[in-house]
Homo-oligomer: A and B are copies of this chain.
Amino acid sequence: MNQDNSPDVIGIGTCTADMLFVVSQPPTYGRSWRASQYLRQGGGPVSTALVTLARLGISTRFIGRAGADPEGVFIREEFQKDGVDVSRFMLEPNVFSRAVLVLVDQTTGERCFTSRRETHTPLSVSDLDRQEIESAKVLHLDDADEASVQAAEWAKAAGVTVTLDGTWHSEELVDLLLPLVDMPIVSEVFAQGWMPDAPPEAVVERLCELGARIAAVTLGEQGCVAQWEGGTFTLPAFPVEVVDTTGAGDAFHGGFIYGVLQDWDAAEIIRFASAVASLNCRQLGGRTGLPTVGEVHQFLAQFPGTDSQ
């Protein structure tokens, strides 16, 4: 913790209540099917990255809003269970939080998502406290709403490292947020939406041209491609028995930020992040398989060679 009880990492972004069902075939109307597994868990890119960091022993705070419905209460409980600071997580009466159904194919691990959207008020600039943002070491974001952009501006001006989980491509994200982000890590979907047909190497190069100190594109089971200070790094995903890839990207971000806080070099950060993401795929749900620091190092010890190019 910094002074004044400030957390090392502040997150502003998506929070969801996820309902996961593992099924042998997609549901069809008029029929009844069995699910082999069911799990209810908190989710959302920034939210799960904070939980990842909390499991790794880092102090974190989520600044955001949700409805005071059973899902919002559940999302808060899920944060609290892992010690994420919820003192700035506001639940608003008589509106909905985001509820997400995740169907996971039990053979292929393919997934589909169905979301009931939130109806609560979005976080606004007036909800923010500039000093609070400035006192963090890292600000982690996943959306380009008004509050996120304002927080990123304050953070950048104060030298707080700004990290971004670019899951879905949008013009706002590229135009308003990317110029403020020190370390953008984007999904393949984001990369394809932004620079269609460009290889990931071109995407990270462009991100660095826009000001990124470290940039990466995550490629699922293909691992990731990263660039910093002119160097490029390709790391395949670590071999694990994959049960569910939900939250793998979120966990990657948590591991990444952990490495940033340790002042490791970029290759070491990416390698650690990749291990956290892989370990998280061994169990159902975005948070069930999140490792401790010891577990990550123990896992990495099996792969002593460096994978950098």
Contact = CB atoms under 8 A, between A and B. Distances in A.
A222 interface: no
A21 interface: yes
Integer count of this chain's copies in the complex:
2
A184 to B, nearest CB: 22
21 contacts: A19-B19, A19-B101, A21-B101, A21-B116, A26-B27, A26-B28, A27-B27, A27-B101, A27-B103, A27-B112, A28-B112, A29-B105, A29-B108, A30-B110, A31-B112, A31-B113, A35-B116, A38-B99, A38-B116, A40-B70, A101-B101
Nearest to A102: B27
A130 interface: no
Given A26-B26, A36-B116, 15 more contacts: A19-B19, A21-B99, A26-B29, A27-B113, A28-B112, A29-B112, A30-B112, A31-B112, A34-B114, A34-B117, A35-B101, A38-B71, A38-B99, A38-B101, A40-B70
Contacts of A31: 112-113
Contacts of A38: 71, 96, 99, 101, 116
A116 B106 CA distance: 13
A69 to B, nearest CB: 9
Max chain B Cβ within 10 angstroms of own Cβ: one of A33, A101, A110, A114: A114
Nearest to A99: B38
Interface of A: 19, 21, 23, 26-38, 40, 70-71, 96, 99, 101, 103, 105, 108, 110-117
B115 A32 contact: yes
A97 to B, nearest CB: 10
Contacts of A36: 116
A73 to B, nearest CB: 12
Contacts of A40: 70
